[in-house]
Amino acid sequence: MFGIMEINDATAIFGALAQPTRLNIVRLLIRREPEGAAAGDIARALEVPNATLSAHLKVLTQAGLVAPRRESRSIIYRAELSAIEALIGFLLRDCCAGDPSICGPLMASLSETAPECASSDTPSCNSASSNPSSSKPTPTET
């Protein structure tokens, strides 16, 4: 679905993320990569009623930010990292007209955000795995 993102795709994704609970769902699922999380686990972690969560997951799925898969009797949701990568690429596509003296600090700060991902050959970054035990957002994030 995503390669080089166009403005309409980016707008749809930003629209889906423009709600605190949905943004927290995506952040939680990124932290839970590559395993993902069952809907019930997401609801408990974010303290969101199941019916409300279902509506949010539908919006995020339609925007291409999460993908569901059935696993036995559960539906497991995973972040669509390719969509997130495409969105970041869209935002930075014409960064600073290619001037490394301007873009350099921005790119360095992105590398500092996830230092283990600074090199593309890091396996954990290819799947964005992280510590699932830190899945509960702080109260200021919800």
pLDDT tens figures, 71-100:
999 999 999 999 998 998 888 877 777 777
Which CATH number belongs to the domain containing residue 22 in this structure?
1.10.10.10
> Is residue 2 domain-resident?
no
> Is residue 97 domain-resident?
yes
Summarize the confidence of residues 109-132 as an average pLDDT.
50
> Is residue 57 domain-resident?
yes
Mean pLDDT lowest for which of 3-17, 24-38, 69-83, 108-122?
A: 108-122
pLDDT band at 34 (very low <50, low <70, confident <90, very high): very high
> Is residue 122 domain-resident?
yes
Percent of the chain with pLDDT over 90: 55
> Is residue 1 domain-resident?
no
Full domain range(s) for residue 95: 7-141
> Is residue 81 domain-resident?
yes
Alpha-carbon distance of 50 to 42, in angstroms, equals 9
Task: Provide the whole-model pTM.
Answer: 0.73
Tally of structural domains, the chain: 1
